[in-house]
Chain A
């Protein structure tokens, strides 16, 4: 019975229990003896339980208030110390909370669909292409032949012109088969999804709107269902509104239309454009689904040996769609944040250690006055926790400010919102981190201080004992700070080198001074080639007449902005093969495209207005095209089969990085905009206007809009930007990441510098007596200086070794981000090591100089 009560007493603070526990036990024993009968005993226990819990809480509260009062007093006494601690904690927690928020949002949190882990995407694979959109024919056969999936649906991105109130607008959206939306497990906010009948060709137009489009265009009208909207000139009935948080296939989608696949879509198995999403059956693992799809693909290959030659089926989890680069980017960010926190903690431990030493006297007085070790420990930990909580709160503010900046690191390819919100997950993370930080950096110095606060009584100079241990702890802290700084410095250094290398890459065109915009001409209105030609000619004639304009042209897509449009190439007498080694990118261009873009024309001529549909089909090809097919031969006048026609080479142009600065691109083929049958290649119809001009973008743009409005008042203008911006976009997420990482590295470096300086200064002041004695015994200033510097540098070097090793590991881990820079890049490593040694040396110099000022006699005399 008393054992139970003793156990119950452990809810009281240890110091209270030590003081009064025995007497409380005695009182309880008496009460227990007085209680006669089981009822009285039960009543006693019930009352005791309530009493103990209530009083224990009150005692804890009393102690907390007392400790907080002490804390407030010591903060007032040393505001600089408190401010430093708050700043360090706020930076550490802020950096980590922000990094966690973005990483969790992109990599961890389940996608906003029902049972998202069962959702997969299906791709075709062919030699040289890991993931390729399947052709509708293969999609249909996969659907028929597989049994691993509950449902399979197809979709493709689309963009349409909406002519409503105000200026016509260009909207991104998706054409989806009837299976897609139900398969995702979402419900419309209003209305319903497409029926199978609405998904058939020839059925009346129906459309689902995104929440945002509903708000923007229809003012959030609850009775919007049944309203008619005009998309690309055709009427569509609004049948539903999607919820605000629904983003599919990505966050740009504003509307969804039925795919309405036609019979002719299924004719060509090499017409790859449909994206396929599927839901695994419950109990069917990813491995099983993959195995089944491999069998299905093999059967199709034997059935269609020509079209489906070496064609595989790839099954990938919906979230796994994320590129390795985006993933690495975020992991690097989290790692960097962790380094900052590590340095912050080491710093704080150092600060508190020094502070505990400075307060030794105070602690000893309190110990002499009867405060037990538990009590002092509790007070010190409360102090560091209180500082940590304040710092953590500041850190959350830091994170809230930083998250919108970091949100651009969230890739646009996922079906999630643009920016993560700071929600309860994040707050719990921050609270846990704060607690761990407060206890982590507070406990060790507190334990040490309490051990040293001599409980036997006050003894002058009594802290000399335990000096060796403290020395080791301090050295360990310096090592941690050096290690973490080196890792951060080298990682940022490697990424900076990678960025420089990319930025130095020539895109193949001159981006400066070019403004671009998109006028995507809708079909059926512009299905006829002559209709489109008239529009281009009207616009281009107007633009070329503007003052300051040096060149203007239309093309299917801008380089880098659109990496696709790949077709197989066959030389005379060879079969068409769909593999990377035999592919080239197709662009329809108007005359003047090369001049406007600043792409050098190496041989032959540009396409011209004379290259009409009744003339032989011609093409301008790139250098790499010539190198691949006719090395060391005259390319002009040669023929090749491409995009369903035989074409003759009339010119050779410089290579362009179509797929982006850090990826290799297929050779390029440019064909005249007039040489296309009516209704063919609607996707490739020239839509991007490039204008090279000396005039400012703003003044030019209003003139351009006027010209386009005159050519077709219903034609929206979208994607207005400079070509330089298109190129900058290539390295935008990289340079953003680098800025973040760089900021982390600078913060960490400064923190580590301050921390190391503090630790070394503390160490030197501890050695003042030793130094005094040495000088009294005849040591020279240079000897003392060397001694102090050497011990600092030695400690740093001990941190440098694991730091360099870890940095190499980190570099290997993010090799995919390095654009060819070696993970063990010698200049980066050398620079980082030198910086760290420099930081340690400068951290040691001031304390060392101070040590020289120590008057040997004073020190020796005080002993």
Chain B
């Protein structure tokens, strides 16, 4: 495992669960369960993160500095005392971009061999 002192590219490829979590956090801070729901909704129910996978990935992402825990909470009436909220860091955005680029290159290669939809 690499520490926060290494660049985001060193983290590539990201684990699928980690990538999903970064994507879910890309448009706003969320707590753990909200991340699960978001991922489930976006993938049409295909990806359903388990609690263990979620928090294991969150702990790693925290250690790698790709996400951070948010101290200030959203509106008090929406807040639940038990919940921690997470926010994607600039480093996390960079890592997600890098992963997206990597996947896009892969798809390009597949397309060039007629293995994916779209123009060659």
Q: Which residues of A contact B (CB under 8 A)?
A: 12, 16, 19-20, 22-24, 26-28, 30, 47-48, 51-52, 54-56, 58-59, 62, 65-66, 69
Query: Is A58 within 8 A of B56, CB to CB?
Result: yes
Please name all residues of chain B whose beta carbon is closer than 8 Å to the beta carbon of A56 when the two chains form the complex. Answer: 52
Please name all residues of chain B whose beta carbon is closer than 8 Å to the beta carbon of A55 when the two chains form the complex. Answer: 50, 52-53, 56
- The contact of A27 among B1, B3, B36, B63, by CB within 8 Å, is B36
Please name all residues of chain A whose beta carbon is closer than 8 Å to the beta carbon of B105 when the two chains form the complex. Answer: none
Please name all residues of chain B whose beta carbon is closer than 8 Å to the beta carbon of A28 when the two chains form the complex. Answer: 51
The number of residue pairs between A and B whose CB atoms lie closer than 8 Å in the complex comes to: 54
Query: Is A26 within 8 A of B1, CB to CB?
Result: no
Q: Closest A residue to B54 by CB, please name it.
A: A27
Query: Is B33 within 8 A of A27, CB to CB?
Result: yes
Query: Is B56 within 8 A of A52, CB to CB?
Result: no
Query: Is B82 within 8 A of A52, CB to CB?
Result: no
Residue B12 lies at the interface, judged by CB distance under 8 Å to chain A: no
Query: Is A27 within 8 A of B56, CB to CB?
Result: no
Q: How far is the CA of A65 from the CA of B82 in the complex (A)?
A: 29
Q: Closest B residue to A24 by CB, please name it.
A: B51
Q: How far is the CA of A54 from the CA of B51 in the complex (A)?
A: 12
Q: Closest B residue to A65 by CB, please name it.
A: B1
Q: Chain B 84-120, CB within 8 Å of chain A: the 1/0 string?
A: 1000000000000000000000000000000000000
Query: Is A26 within 8 A of B33, CB to CB?
Result: yes
Q: How far is the CA of A28 from the CA of B83 in the complex (A)?
A: 14
Q: How far is the CA of A59 from the CA of B1 in the complex (A)?
A: 12
Query: Is B1 within 8 A of A48, CB to CB?
Result: no
Query: Is B52 within 8 A of A24, CB to CB?
Result: yes
Please name all residues of chain A whose beta carbon is closer than 8 Å to the beta carbon of B65 when the two chains form the complex. Answer: none
Query: Is A62 within 8 A of B1, CB to CB?
Result: yes
- The contact of B1 among A19, A47, A51, A66, by CB within 8 Å, is A66
- The contact of A59 among B31, B36, B59, B82, by CB within 8 Å, is B59
Query: Is A62 within 8 A of B32, CB to CB?
Result: no
Query: Is A51 within 8 A of B83, CB to CB?
Result: no
Shortest CB-to-CB span from B80 to chain A, Å, is 9
Q: Chain B 56-70, CB within 8 Å of chain A: the 1/0 string?
A: 101110010000000
Subset of 17 A-B contacts with CB under 8 Å: A20-B32, A20-B55, A20-B58, A22-B82, A23-B55, A23-B84, A24-B51, A26-B33, A27-B36, A47-B50, A51-B52, A51-B53, A55-B56, A62-B56, A62-B59, A62-B60, A65-B1
Please name all residues of chain A whose beta carbon is closer than 8 Å to the beta carbon of B3 when the two chains form the complex. Answer: 69
Please name all residues of chain A whose beta carbon is closer than 8 Å to the beta carbon of B82 when the two chains form the complex. Answer: 22-23, 26
- The contact of A30 among B33, B52, B53, B63, by CB within 8 Å, is B33
Please name all residues of chain A whose beta carbon is closer than 8 Å to the beta carbon of B55 when the two chains form the complex. Answer: 16, 19-20, 23-24
Query: Is A19 within 8 A of B51, CB to CB?
Result: no
Q: How far is the CA of A19 from the CA of B83 in the complex (A)?
A: 11
Chain A CB count within 10 A is highest, among B3, B33, B36, B52, for B52
Query: Is B53 within 8 A of A27, CB to CB?
Result: no
Please name all residues of chain A whose beta carbon is closer than 8 Å to the beta carbon of B56 when the two chains form the complex. Answer: 55, 58-59, 62
Shortest CB-to-CB span from A622 to chain B, Å, is 82
Query: Is B50 within 8 A of A23, CB to CB?
Result: no
Chain A CB count within 10 A is highest, among B51, B54, B63, B83, for B51
Please name all residues of chain B whose beta carbon is closer than 8 Å to the beta carbon of A16 when the two chains form the complex. Answer: 55, 59
Please name all residues of chain A whose beta carbon is closer than 8 Å to the beta carbon of B59 when the two chains form the complex. Answer: 16, 19-20, 59, 62
Q: Closest B residue to A30 by CB, please name it.
A: B33
Q: Closest B residue to A370 by CB, please name it.
A: B69
Query: Is B52 within 8 A of A52, CB to CB?
Result: yes
Q: Closest B residue to A8 by CB, please name it.
A: B52
Please name all residues of chain A whose beta carbon is closer than 8 Å to the beta carbon of B32 when the two chains form the complex. Answer: 20, 23, 27
Report if A27-B60 is in contact (Cβ < 8 Å); known contacts: A22-B82, A66-B1: no
Please name all residues of chain B whose beta carbon is closer than 8 Å to the beta carbon of A22 when the two chains form the complex. Answer: 82
Q: How far is the CA of A23 from the CA of B53 in the complex (A)?
A: 13
Other than the known A23-B84, A48-B50, A55-B53, what 16 A-B pairs have Cβ atoms closer than 8 Å? A12-B52, A20-B32, A20-B55, A20-B58, A20-B59, A23-B33, A23-B83, A26-B33, A27-B51, A27-B54, A30-B33, A47-B50, A55-B52, A58-B56, A59-B59, A65-B1
In the A-B complex, the 10 residue pairs with the smallest Cβ-Cβ separation, listed nearest first, are A55-B52, A20-B55, A24-B51, A51-B50, A27-B51, A55-B56, A51-B52, A23-B32, A22-B82, A59-B56
